[in-house]
């Protein structure tokens, strides 16, 4: 189920990195992997690579985004299935999300054939990601807490006890504070806050 997939922790890369493999028959393959979370960021990244290396023959790429789920790849003029798919296969094989990989090729004058291209593009992606520092992401939901001023200390103590923090607060006739709650702890957090405030807290999902 999609909801189950979204709730599970997943791996991504910590920071962007670049690596160039040894030339293959004088063709250069320069790979950059970058963490990102939206298609707009992916488009900007690709445009950036094309601007930086405008004389390159191909900028082949693939990405996997977690939420909403997006999986795309491009051969950018190379024979069909010889570039984008091998790059994507590396991301999928390592179960990495919110990552885009662009492999830029400078043609060396000798054709590599489909098999050779698959090994070059897939290998460039793999060897670059071998060098990446990974981190685990725990998906969360935003939750607004509404409570009286008298319950402020109780709520603050309860939030701290749960290992969370108040990210924003607004003060009107009541206090409204936002927290980020891991999916797996959703019901536990709500119940604990109700208990700690003697029922004097109301909830509203910020991204509902």
Residue 1 has pLDDT above 70, yes or no: no
Name the percent of the chain in helix, strand, coil, to the closest 5: 35, 35, 30
Scored b (16 or more CB within 10 A) or e, 49-65 reads: beeebeebebbbbbbbb
Could you please state the CATH topology (level 3) that the domain comprising 2-136 is classified under: Ribosomal Protein S5; domain 2 (3.30.230)
129-179 per-position pLDDT tens digit: 999 999 999 888 888 999 988 888 888 888 888 888 888 888 988 999 999
Q: Spell out the domain ranges in the chain.
A: 2-136, 139-205
- Between CA 204 and CA 145 the distance in angstroms is 7
Predicted confidence (pLDDT) at residue 4 exceeds the cutoff of 80: no
The residue written with tokens 């488009």 in the block is 43
Least confident of 38-52, 79-93, 190-204: 190-204
pLDDT of res. 101: 98
**pTM listed for this prediction:** 0.78
Give the Cα separation of 10 and 15 in Å (integer): 16
Across 13-22, 90-99, 136-145, least confident range: 136-145
CB 131 within 8 A of CB 158: no
The rounded Cα 121 to chain-centroid distance in angstroms is 21
Q: Residue 87 — pLDDT band, cuts 50, 70, 90?
A: very high
pLDDT: which is higher, 30 or 152: 30
Choose the most confident range, by mean pLDDT, from 67-81, 149-163, 189-203.
67-81
Q: What is the dihedral of CA 208, 34, 27, 126, to 10 degrees?
A: -90
Identify the CATH number of the domain defined by range 139-205.
3.30.70.240
Q: For residue 68, what is the DSSP state?
A: T
């Amino acid at each position: 189920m999609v909801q189950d997939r979204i709730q599970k922790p997943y791996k991504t890369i910590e920071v962007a990195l670049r690596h160039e493999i040894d030339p293959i028959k004088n063709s250069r393959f320069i790979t950059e992997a970058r963490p990102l979370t939206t298609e707009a960021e992916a488009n900007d990244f690709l445009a950036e690579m094309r601007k930086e290396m405008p004389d390159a023959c191909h900028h082949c790429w693939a990405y996997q985004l977690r939420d909403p789920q997006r999986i795309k790849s491009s051969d950018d003029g190379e024979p069909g299935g010889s570039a984008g798919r091998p790059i994507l296969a590396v991301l999928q094989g390592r179960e990495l999300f919110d990552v885009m990989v662009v492999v830029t090729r400078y043609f060396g004058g000798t054709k590599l054939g489909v098999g050779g291209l698959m090994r070059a593009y897939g290998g460039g992606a793999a060897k670059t990601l071998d060098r990446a520092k990974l981190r685990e992401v725990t998906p969360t939901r935003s939750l607004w807490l509404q409570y009286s001023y008298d319950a402020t200390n109780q709520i603050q103590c309860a939030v701290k006890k749960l290992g969370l923090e108040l990210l924003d607060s607004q003060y009107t006739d009541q206090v409204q504070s936002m927290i980020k709650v891991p999916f797996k702890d959703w019901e536990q957090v709500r119940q604990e806050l109700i208990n700690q405030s003697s029922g004097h807290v109301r909830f509203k999902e910020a991204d509902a």
